[in-house]
Amino acid sequence: MGMLDWFKSIVRGEESAPAASPAAGGGPDQSSELAGLNFKTAVDAHMKWKVRLESYINGTSEEQLKVEVVCRDDQCPLGKWIYDKGGEKFGFSETFFDMKAHHALFHRSAGGVLAAAQSGDKAAALKLLHGGDYVKASERVKMLLARMFVIASEGTEAIDSHIKWKSRLQSYIKGDSKEDLKAEIVSRDDQCTLGHWINGIGGERFGQMPVFAVVRSRHANFHRCAGEVLAVAQQGDKARALHMLEEGAYPDASEQVAEAIVHLFEQQKITAAQPKTAA
């Protein structure tokens, strides 16, 4: 199973899915590294916490674990990444903030497990380790890390947000939306989720590919068209604005963005499948 498929299996909750193929030579698989984090290594290290704590509770560990350190969410490698490059690269993503919150809950729960063990209540510590907030938070962190990798690799969330623009604008024009949309913001290509992806992790991942420049250009044009639709609506001509969503520059620009993104992923797959020449 390839790395991306392995992460997708985690997102789908397929616990019995086989592990991703290891990198040649036994080292960390670089295909799972994004934004300064090897996501495969991060998932593995996160899941090993259970073994580490269980060994400590059973007296078979040589680690000197401290509650005041374990309960903090900024001391482990994943936590340090979250508060550094992770926030920088994924700070726009709701998935990132969800993962950050559950990671903090996980460490508080792990601290509770360790505190019970150090107080001499082995039974209570094992009960906390195998149920409750610890297990829920741990599984949630694993799933959200996998989901972030998929998002970063394929831009799925960004694409979905792009597709939703039409319904967002329709709702606004018809007066059914509570959004306070401004034409000068909507017309910018760096304010939406896809724009953040293009200017962030997407650019980092695909920026060297010529087709990515096409995505960037078409996305900028789309937002100019969206801004024009909104401006017409805010001038009071709702009928014309709704018509612009269905015919003309706006639907053409939206479709061109979708086509460019599909082409980007197709080219990325082709490039990834090509054998690398020796240096």
DSSP state of 91: T
Instruction: Work out the pLDDT band at 276, boundaries 50, 70, 90.
Output: low
Q: So what's the pLDDT on residue 170?
A: 96
- Domains of the chain: which residue ranges? 3-153, 156-273
Mean predicted confidence (pLDDT) in 45-63: 95
Residue with the two structure tokens 């197709």: 266
pTM of the full structure: 0.67
**Directed axis angle between helix 210-234 and helix 249-273, to 10°?**
160
State pLDDT tens for residues 172-213.
999 999 999 999 999 999 999 899 889 888 888 889 999 999
Topology alike, domains 3-153 and 156-273 = yes
Mean predicted confidence (pLDDT) in 26-41: 75
Closest CA to 245 of 147, 191, 167, 136: 167
H or E element at residue 25:
none
Instruction: Work out the pLDDT band at 19, boundaries 50, 70, 90.
Output: low
Contacts of 30 (CB under 8 A, 6+ apart): 23, 38
Q: Please, what is the Cα angle at 186 between 182 and 188, to 5 degrees?
A: 125
**Directed axis angle between helix 3-11 and helix 133-154, to 10°?**
130
Is the pLDDT at 257 greater than 90, yes or no?
yes
**Three-state SS at 33:** strand
Angstrom distance (rounded) from CA 215 to CA 162: 12
Write b or e for each residue in 161-170: b if 16 or more Cβ atoms lie within 10 A of its Cβ, otherwise e: bbeebbebbb
Amino acid, single-letter form, for residue 9: S
Is the pLDDT at 25 greater than 70, yes or no?
no
Closest CA to 265 of 220, 202, 204, 184: 202
The answer to whether 116 and 128 are in contact (CB under 8 A) is: yes
Token pair for 193 = 């989720």
Angstrom distance (rounded) from CA 270 to CA 263: 11
Range with the lowest mean pLDDT among 81-90, 237-246, 250-259? 81-90
List the CATH code of the domain at 156-273: 1.20.120
- The CATH architecture to which 3-153 belongs is Up-down Bundle (1.20)
State pLDDT tens for residues 127-137.
999 988 999 99
Q: So what's the pLDDT on residue 93?
A: 78
Angstrom distance (rounded) from CA 193 to CA 208: 21
The answer to whether 113 and 52 are in contact (CB under 8 A) is: no
